[in-house]
């Protein structure tokens, strides 16, 4: 096996695929990067058994073959190579000889036969999404995904595909995040929606890898596996099994108090109140919604207290309610629109946060029950 490759292209490919390397690989082969030759490129592959990533890298192939090299060591060695062309030769499948301008390195190969065969996912469900919007949507639901492994299904992000839109939903029992991506989708005959639950950790990595472009990412999945393709990269994952919570039953269809507020003013007030709330025993911030067009936000602790007055537009009843400051802050930080709408029914029912116009996003956060205040 013998090929020549540019260091920047090899480093880009390695930077993509090594995201699949686990800190504690379950198998020795999972600590390696598989390098396979094609007519005018290399295919790099890493896996941890649950997520696999492939990347194609342009190369001049002198002799076909494949080799498994220690991923971290090889990636670090490539980062240290001088800019330009690197010549890599595999001798007898046992040793890699890496030569570049003034540098010669030898590296022992791993047993390539032990690396799993990772083929493309063949599924009846296919969808295309703009990379930038898909990346942004992932980032705006990821914070709400559960980390409780005892409720495995909630550690994933629900992907629902409809004819005119794709929904991403994350929830952890205290808050819910939903993002809509407008796109025309071709559904199988007789179906008005198809869905899958993707491990949040894996979709988070996909979000970091997606380019900031309007090019489409291709998604193919079946009942057990999913594949994301964008540019020269493919990511493969095993889907989570089980019943995701029926989030539609959680979302309120009506409310008794509706508030319109400038996001920046609300965010700044939450930040200031959160500083004091963290000094208290319960990390709470308190909201009082007044029909005179003011929202009072307070937080207190032994070291002091904070009082904020925020201008709002309000329809409906006055209300006093309390929230964990971090949960409310996480949601507001993931809203882009200048004005947002907050919908309430009581001080013990969830608050829904949505755009003043449209339905691009929906967030839900549970309040904290308060007594004698």
pLDDT digits (tens, 9 = 90+) for 277-305: 988 778 999 999 999 999 999 998 888 89
Please name the fold of domain 251-365. Answer: DNA Polymerase III; Chain A, domain 2 (3.10.150)
Average pLDDT over residues 114-132: 91
The DSSP result for 23-90, as a single string, is SS-SSGGGGEEEEEE-SSEEEEEEE-SSEEEEEEEE-EEEE--EEEEEHHHHHHHHHTSPSSEEEEEE
Average pLDDT of the residues of the chain: 94
User: Which whole number is the average pLDDT over 30-35?
Assistant: 97
Phi, psi of 4 (to 5 degrees): -125, 140
Residue 230 has pLDDT above 60, yes or no: yes
Exposed / middle / buried, residue 316 (Cβ in 10 Å: 0-12, 13-18, 19+): middle
**Beta strands of 325-360 (E only): which ranges?**
339-344, 351-355
Question: For residue 368, which phi and psi values (nearest 5 degrees)?
Answer: -105, 130
Instruction: Report whether pLDDT(122) > 90.
Output: no
User: Which among 103, 110, 65, 106 has a CA at the least distance from the CA of 84?
Assistant: 103
Range 158-169 average pLDDT: 96
CA dist 299 and 272 (Å) reads 9
Residues of the chain within CATH 3.10.150.10 domain(s) are 2-114, 125-248, 251-365
Confidence bin at 318 (pLDDT 50/70/90): very high
What pLDDT score was predicted for residue 50? 93
* Reported confidence tier of residue 372, pLDDT bands at 50, 70, 90: low
- Mean local confidence (pLDDT), 140-167: 95
Q: Which CATH number fits domain 2-114: 3.40.190.10, 3.10.150.10, 1.25.10.10, 3.60.21.10?
A: 3.10.150.10
84-107 confidence digits (pLDDT tens): 999 999 988 799 999 998 889 999
Q: Is the pLDDT score of 119 beyond 60?
A: yes
Query: Helix-strand-coil percent breakdown of the chain, rounded to 5?
Result: 25, 45, 35
32 beta partners: 70
CATH 3.40.50.720 fits 125-248, yes or no: no
Tell me what the mean pLDDT of segment 331-358 comes to.
Answer: 95
What are the backbone angles phi and psi of residue 74, rounded to the nearest 5°? Answer: -65, -40
């Amino acid at each position: 096996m013998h090929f020549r490759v540019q260091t920047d292209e090899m480093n880009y490919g390695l930077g993509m695929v090594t995201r699949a390397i686990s800190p504690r690989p379950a198998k020795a082969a999972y600590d390696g990067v598989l390098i396979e030759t094609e007519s005018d490129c290399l295919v790099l592959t890493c896996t941890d058994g649950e997520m696999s990533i492939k990347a194609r890298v342009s190369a001049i192939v002198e002799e076909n073959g494949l080799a498994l090299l220690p991923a971290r060591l090889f990636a670090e060695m490539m980062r240290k190579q001088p800019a330009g062309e690197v010549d890599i030769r595999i001798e007898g499948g046992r040793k890699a000889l890496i030569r570049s301008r003034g540098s010669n390195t030898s590296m022992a190969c791993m047993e390539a036969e032990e690396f799993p065969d990772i083929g493309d996912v063949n599924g009846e469900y296919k969808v295309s999404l703009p990379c930038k919007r898909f990346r942004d949507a992932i980032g705006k639901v990821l914070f709400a995904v559960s980390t409780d492994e005892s409720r495995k299904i909630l550690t994933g992000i629900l992907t629902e595909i409809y004819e005119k839109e794709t929904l991403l939903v994350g929830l952890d029992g205290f808050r819910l995040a939903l993002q809509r991506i407008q796109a025309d989708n071709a559904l199988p005959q007789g179906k008005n929606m198809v869905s899958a639950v993707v491990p949040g950790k894996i979709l988070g990595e996909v979000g970091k890898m997606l380019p900031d472009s309007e090019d489409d990412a291709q998604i193919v999945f079946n009942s057990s596996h999913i594949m994301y393709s964008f540019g020269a990269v493919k990511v493969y994952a095993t889907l989570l099994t089980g019943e995701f919570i029926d989030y539609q039953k959680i979302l309120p269809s009506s409310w008794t108090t509706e508030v319109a507020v400038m996001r920046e003013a609300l965010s700044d007030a939450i930040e200031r109140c959160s500083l004091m709330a963290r000094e208290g025993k319960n990390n709470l911030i308190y909201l009082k919604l007044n029909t005179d067009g003011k929202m009072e936000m307070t937080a207190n602790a032994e070291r002091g207290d904070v009082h904020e007055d925020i201008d709002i537009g309000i329809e409906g009843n006055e209300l006093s309610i309390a929230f964990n400051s971090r949960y409310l802050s996480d949601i507001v930080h993931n809203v882009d629109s200048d004005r947002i709408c907050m919908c309430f029914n009581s001080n013990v029912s969830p608050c829904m946060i949505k755009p003043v116009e449209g339905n691009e996003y929906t967030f839900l956060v549970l309040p904290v029950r308060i007594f004698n205040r």
